[in-house]
């Protein structure tokens, strides 16, 4: 029997199998979406479907035809778009793991040809990872923030409707504060405060950090207190409030209330997840600062900063702070060789940080 006449022919069976496979993949008649899915990773799990709309406050995902779910940005960890290049996926993963420099390296491997004709949301993701990773890298190293600030500003001007808008506003505020422009930083945080209660926590914390950097410790303390009592119980806000508690403790230390500062930091450490290395690095650095504000607790301060140096040394800002303090504490304890080792490690590992610059001024 010829292929034209008989449906039992190999050719017809092949095409029938392909059609059946395609119908299964596309869920013919089943109400599912007829294309590869996007994935919205939240604090509760993953929502799979098609991203049909984004805004600064939420992402809408069509999980089945006609079934659209709205996810607020404070619950979103990341959005993975169907068909995105492997380099973009890897770069975003590195950024989310707190490795911004590696994220930029990975993004640099992306072939522009892979983005020809790409969906606009993919282009937004590339621009976001590039700008956000540049900002995080600067904030973690103490390098000049101007180029990262330019990238973040460009993103905000061009992508004001992105679900990354508020995160980028926060980064802009942080960069402006680091650049010594507190008024502009406060204006950036004011944009962030227009969002949900969870984002208002972050805005208040940003204002507090800015006041702290200006050595306005009473004002900073009031802002930190306001952030702690803001009604927002999502996971992101709870994590932010742990950071707020550390900032508040630093204010107490600067105001001469060292014992209160020590107790506040110890509460954070006791409640911390042992796997949260970044939080613990920042906590032990804050604990060292708190102990230095209490007369006669220099040994405890030294142990706290050594804990950062020897155990939680993967967070550059905290490690650099610990090394700078160890230089001073070892010198005060009449251990010049150990002070010299701490200074050399600080200079070789974090030469551009404010901590290295401060240590040079005292050297």
User: In this structure, what CATH number is given to the domain that contains residue 39?
Assistant: 2.30.30
Using only the alpha carbons of the chain, give its radius of gyration: 25
Residue that wins the pLDDT comparison between 185 and 30: 185
CA–CA gap between residue 75 and residue 187 (Å, rounded): 25
Instruction: Decide if pLDDT at 28 tops 70.
Output: no
| pLDDT at site 234 | 67
| Within a domain: 220 | no
The larger pLDDT score, comparing residue 118 to residue 332, is at 332
Region 179-202: what's the mean pLDDT?
92
pLDDT of residue 327: 97
The per-residue pLDDT for 52 is: 94
- The mean pLDDT of the chain is 87
Total number of domains in the chain: 3
Q: Give the distance, in angstroms, between the CA of residue 43 and the centroid of all CA atoms in the same chain.
A: 14
* CATH (domain of 99): 1.25.40
At which of 150, 181, 212 does a domain end? Answer: 181
Highest mean pLDDT among 43-47, 238-242, 290-294, 315-319: 290-294
Q: pLDDT class for 363, splitting at 50, 70, 90?
A: low
What is the reported pLDDT for 183? 95
24 with 68, same domain: the answer is: yes
Domain boundary among 160, 181, 202: 181
The two structure tokens encoding residue 52: 């049909």
- Give the angle 288-289-291 at the CA atoms, nearest 5°: 65
Q: Note the pLDDT tens digit of each residue in 215-248.
A: 999 999 999 999 998 876 667 778 889 999 999 9
Does some domain include residue 244?
no
What's the per-residue H, E or C state across the chain? CCCCCCCCCHHHHHHHHHHHHHHHHCCCCCCCCCCCCEEEEECCCEEEEEEEEEECCEEEEEEECCEEEEEEHHHEEEEECCCCCHHHHHHHHHHHCCCHHHHHHHHHCCCHHHHCCCCHHHHHHHHHHHHHHHHHHHHHHCCCCHHHHHHHHHHHHHCCCCCCHHHHHHHHHHHHHHCCCHHHHHHHHHHHCCCCHHHHHHHHHHHHHHHHHCCCHHHHHHHHHHHHHCCCCCHHHHHHHHHHHHHHHHHHHHCCCHHHHHHHHHHHHHHCCCCCHHHHHHHHHHHHHHHHCCCCCHHHHHHHHHHHHHCCCCCHHHHHHHHHHHHHHHHHCCCHHHHHHHHHHHHHHCCCCHHHHHHHHHC
Q: What percentage of residues in the chain have a pLDDT greater than 90?
A: 69
Give me the CATH number covering residue 312. Answer: 1.25.40.10
pTM: 0.78
Q: What is the pLDDT of residue 143?
A: 78
What's the confidence (pLDDT) of residue 232? 65
Based on the fold, state whether residues 57 and 93 are members of the same structural domain.
no
> 31 and 57 share a domain?
yes
- What is the extent of the structural domain holding 37? 10-77
Q: 324 and 345 share a domain?
A: yes
How does residue 18 score in pLDDT terms, banded at 50, 70 and 90?
A: very low
Residue 188, domain member (yes or no): no
- The pLDDT value recorded for residue 116 is 85
Whether 112 shows a pLDDT value over 60: the answer reads yes
pLDDT at 263: 98
In-domain check, residue 294 = yes
């Amino acid at each position: 029997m010829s292929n034209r006449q008989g449906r039992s022919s190999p050719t017809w069976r092949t095409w029938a199998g392909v059609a059946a496979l395609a119908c299964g993949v596309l869920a013919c008649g089943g109400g599912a979406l007829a294309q590869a899915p996007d994935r919205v990773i939240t604090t509760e799990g993953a929502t799979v479907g098609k991203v049909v709309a984004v805004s600064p406050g939420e992402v809408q995902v069509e999980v089945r035809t006609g079934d659209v779910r709205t996810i607020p940005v404070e619950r979103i960890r990341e959005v993975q778009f169907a068909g995105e290049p492997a380099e973009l996926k890897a770069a975003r993963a590195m950024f989310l793991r707190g490795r911004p420099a590696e994220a930029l390296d990975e993004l640099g491997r992306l072939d522009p040809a892979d983005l020809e004709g790409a969906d606009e949301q993919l282009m937004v993701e590339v621009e976001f990872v590039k700008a956000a990773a540049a900002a995080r890298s600067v904030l973690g190293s103490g390098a000049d923030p101007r180029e990262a600030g330019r990238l973040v500003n460009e993103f905000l001007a061009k992508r004001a409707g992105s679900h990354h808008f508020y995160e980028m506003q926060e980064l802009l505020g942080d960069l402006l504060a680091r650049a010594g422009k507190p008024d502009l930083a406060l204006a950036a945080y004011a944009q962030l405060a227009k969002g949900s209660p969870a984002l208002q926590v972050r805005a208040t914390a940003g204002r507090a950090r800015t006041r702290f950097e200006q050595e306005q410790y009473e004002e900073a303390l009031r802002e930190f207190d306001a952030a702690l009592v803001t009604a927002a119980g999502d996971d992101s806000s709870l994590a932010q409030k742990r950071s707020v508690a550390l900032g508040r403790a630093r204010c107490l230390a600067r105001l001469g209330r060292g014992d209160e500062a020590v107790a506040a930091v110890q509460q954070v450490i006791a409640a911390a997840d042992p796997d949260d290395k970044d939080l613990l690095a920042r906590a032990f650095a804050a604990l060292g600062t708190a102990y230095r504000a209490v007369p006669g607790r220099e040994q405890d301060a030294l142990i706290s900063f050594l804990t950062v140096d020897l155990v939680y040394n993967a967070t550059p800002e905290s490690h650099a702070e610990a090394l700078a303090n160890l230089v001073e504490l070892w010198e005060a304890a009449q251990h010049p060789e150990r002070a010299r080792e701490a200074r050399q490690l600080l200079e070789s590992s974090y030469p551009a940080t404010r901590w290295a610059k401060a240590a040079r001024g005292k050297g």
